[in-house]
Structure 1
Amino acid sequence: MCGYCCKKIVCYIYFTRIIAILLKVTVPFQWQWSYELLVEASTLVFFVLTGYKFRPASNNPYLQLPQDEEDIETDESGALEGISKVKKTCNGRDRQKESTL
């Protein structure tokens, strides 16, 4: 994690667990709703900033598909040899067998 993310998490935890609770204890009864407002607003801001920071990038190398046929690796180990696919009808009985190879 980057330093920005760690600081944001620490600030969120301190604000919702310490500052907001101190505010709840010190304000008069008619302002007790402000505690909930501040906690919910800080949670909203936290998740919006987190979603913005970790949004999908257009140039993500992990999401790129191979463009050439040479890049595509084929399974030549024979691990799927002799396996057949069974089609089932809606009542669950075997209807037809097809070979996958």
Structure 2
Amino acid sequence: MKIVCYIFFTRIIAILMKITMPFQWQWCYEFLVEVSTLIFFVLTGYKFRPASNNPYLQPPLNEEDVEKDEVVTESGALEGISKVKKTSNGRERQKEPAL
């Protein structure tokens, strides 16, 4: 509802005020749009502020609640592939496992 009111005010009401105001009062249009934008963002920030009892921000109480992540150091993409060193005459000298 707040978003609809903000868009309605800044796009319709403020523009109608700009059209109907005399030239000396044209700065009121910009002032009203900026103030309404400030109020909109302050109210939105207040509504979505962090809460002290947010369950997503609480640290786990015991070790069983903590999920252990498995660290993978090898991807398996190079599994079974070996590196071949060649001598200057083109013959294979020895095979080494890659990585």
TM-score by length of 1: 0.68
Count residues with an aligned counterpart. 75
Aligned AA (1:80): V
Unaligned runs of 5+ in 1: 1-6, 84-101
Structure 1 match to 2:67:
73
The percentage of counterpart residues that share the same residue type is 75
**C-alpha separation between the residues in 1 aligned to 2:61 and 2:25?**
61
TM-score with structure 2 length normalisation?
Answer: 0.69
How many Å separate the matches in 1 of 2:19 and 2:74?
Answer: 71
- Structure 2 spans left out of the alignment, 5+ residues: 76-99
Residues of 2 paired with 1:75 and 1:47: CA distance? Answer: 39
Give the counterpart of 2:32 among 17, 32, 38.
38
Point out the structure with max Rg over C-alpha: 2
Q: Give the superposition deviation at 1:82.
A: 5.1
Match of 1:52 among 33, 46, 51: 46
The answer for the alignment partner of 1:23 in structure 2 is 17
Other-structure match for 2:4? 10
Q: CA–CA distance in 1 between the matches of 2:21 and 2:48?
A: 37
Compared CA separation, residues 36 and 81, structure 1 to 2 (3 A)? closer
Deviations 1:7-56 (A, max 9, x none): 11100000000000000000000000000000000000000100111110
What do you get for the CA RMSD once the two structures are aligned? Answer: 1.7
